[in-house]
Amino acid sequence: MYSAGNLHGMKLLVVTDIHGNVSVTDWINSKMRQHAAEHVLVLGDITDFGPVEVAEGILGPIEGTVYALPGNCDPRSLPLAVSAVAVDMHGKTAEIGGYHVAGLGGSNPTIFDTPFELGEDEIYEMLRPISEKGMILMVHAPPYGINDTIPSGVHVGSESILRIVNEFRPVLVLSGHIHEDYGIRYADGTTFVNPGPARDGMYAIIEIDGGAVSAELFSIKDI
């Protein structure tokens, strides 16, 4: 785990579930400037079942460094395609502001048989080797029981992502996927954030300074 001396304050703009809405690029750039955010983290479902060129067109013009994941509604080829215009975080790590960031896109199995689904064993086997204590975890699917409730009241999050959370206690967990269960939760020293679907103008601003996390949800409609 990183000590506070290795870290510096930073501000992140976080979006997810764009679903091919190309208008998000302009308002993301506007909100980056408004909030003085340094980086954009994109948590998947950039397209609505493709094509990958849509994702490139959305992410390419975003100002600043973009860290991106595929969602379950994105093509399997998306990670490679977006690597030309963003930092591909699927099954990979990066260091942002002194923090170890681990990423995994796609989702645990759904009833819809979407293009980018992973088995629970596969999720765990991909995440565990790249995880560290106190990391930032960016995933498309939420951990089971947190920001994962669908309108029927059923929890549909990933048991393996919850297992990773319990083993490594990230300082911050960022997820999307479940449009209805957006929000900010706190548990055992971890902040969990689902910013809500960007296709509807929703985003989160997260500030991290010396290990302290503050998060706030916004909508471009609340103007």
- pLDDT range class, residue 6, cuts 50, 70, 90: low
Tens-place pLDDT, residues 152-190: 999 999 999 999 999 999 999 999 999 999 999 999 999
43 Ramachandran zone, left/alpha/beta (phi>0; psi -120 to 50): alpha
Helix ranges (H only) for the chain are: 24-35, 52-59, 78-82, 120-127, 159-168
Percent of the chain's residues with pLDDT above 90: 92
Answer yes or no: is 1 within a domain: no
Tens-place pLDDT, residues 35-84: 999 999 999 999 999 999 999 999 999 999 999 999 999 999 999 999 99
Count Cα atoms within 13 angstroms, Cβ side, for 182.
22
What 8-state DSSP symbol labels residue 143?
Answer: B
- pLDDT range class, residue 103, cuts 50, 70, 90: very high
Answer yes or no: is 101 within a domain: yes
CA distance 210 to 220: 29
Structure tokens at 54: 């849509």
CA distance 179 to 194: 8
Decide if pLDDT at 115 tops 90.
yes
Task: Write down the pLDDT at residue 1.
Answer: 37
User: Among positive and negative, which fits the CA dihedral 40, 23, 71, 220?
Assistant: positive
Answer yes or no: is 213 within a domain: yes
Residue whose structure tokens are 């000590």: 3
Write the CATH number for 19: 3.60.21.10
Answer yes or no: is 3 within a domain: no
The domain total for the chain is 1
Mean pLDDT of the chain, nearest integer: 95
Structure tokens at 151: 């309108």
- Residue 165 belongs to domain spanning: 8-219
CA distance 77 to 70: 9
Task: Write down the pLDDT at residue 176.
Answer: 98
Answer yes or no: is 2 within a domain: no
Answer yes or no: is 132 within a domain: yes
Answer yes or no: is 141 within a domain: yes
